[in-house]
Amino acid sequence: MAEKFDPAHWERLEDPQRLVELPPAVIAELLDVHGHETVVDFGAGTGAFTIPLAEHLACGLVLAVDESPELLERLRDKLATIDPLLAARIEPVLTEDGHVPLDDGVADRLLTINVAHHVHDEQQALDTMARLLRPGGRLVVIDFGDIDRPIGPPRDHVLPHDRLRELIRGLGVREIAVYEPGELLQHHIAVVAENPADT
């Protein structure tokens, strides 16, 4: 079974270098947000990317989903210190016994960052991601590349790229683009997919 992220190491999620390695502007471009979308940040943790993403949504909403009450509490603490108008565009959502209390198809966009290698063998989490993404919605999966790199978990703790792409296709989405490490992000692979629209 895949290893869970230990909330005791929350400081790692707040390392400013993460925003250098994974620039929020690049993430927003991959998500193709225009300002009004509802975005699910799946595995949001302390919201290191949630808040910058919300800055790209003038009248949208970021649903910050995580299974850790401790990490979401740290996000709530941060929301209390930022512009109230920005904070109002972010809603922490706690996973309860593996269930995400959100409606089917709530997400125009769904983002996961460094989550796939934690949930690749958890069918309930994968099913939930598929359930939350609306028909026609866009999925962006960013994870540590299966390469030798100076950051992140050991190479044998992440997914081979073909396995990651297979996992994403298994969600019932259509792959749009794949950016190998070094193409767009130095140490990460990024896969962009779309949920087929209802016909």
Grade residue 96 by pLDDT with cuts at 50, 70 and 90: confident
Provide the number of structural domains found in the chain.
1
Q: What is the DSSP letter of 5?
A: P
Average pLDDT score over the chain: 92
Grade residue 98 by pLDDT with cuts at 50, 70 and 90: confident
For residue 13, being part of any structural domain is answered with: no
The first and second tokens of residue 9, run together, are 């190491």
For residue 3, being part of any structural domain is answered with: no
Q: Residue 55: pLDDT above 70?
A: yes
5: left (phi over 0), alpha (psi -120 to 50) or beta: beta
**CATH number of the CATH domain containing 94:** 3.40.50.150
Grade residue 182 by pLDDT with cuts at 50, 70 and 90: very high
Grade residue 199 by pLDDT with cuts at 50, 70 and 90: very low
For residue 16, being part of any structural domain is answered with: no
Grade residue 186 by pLDDT with cuts at 50, 70 and 90: very high
Beta strands in 36-173 (DSSP E): 38-42, 61-66, 90-94, 107-113, 133-144
Instruction: Map residue 18 onto helix, strand or coil.
Output: helix
pLDDT tens-digit profile of 75-88?
A: 999 999 999 999 99
> What's the domain range around 150?
24-194
Q: Residue 1: pLDDT above 50?
A: no
Q: Residue 3: pLDDT above 70?
A: no
pLDDT tens-digit profile of 114-158?
A: 999 888 778 889 999 999 999 999 999 999 999 999 999 999 999
What mean pLDDT do residues 45-61 have?
95
Distance (Å, whole) CA 66 – CA 9: 15
Instruction: Say what the pLDDT of residue 16 is.
Output: 83
For residue 14, being part of any structural domain is answered with: no
For residue 102, being part of any structural domain is answered with: yes
Distance (Å, whole) CA 104 – CA 124: 14
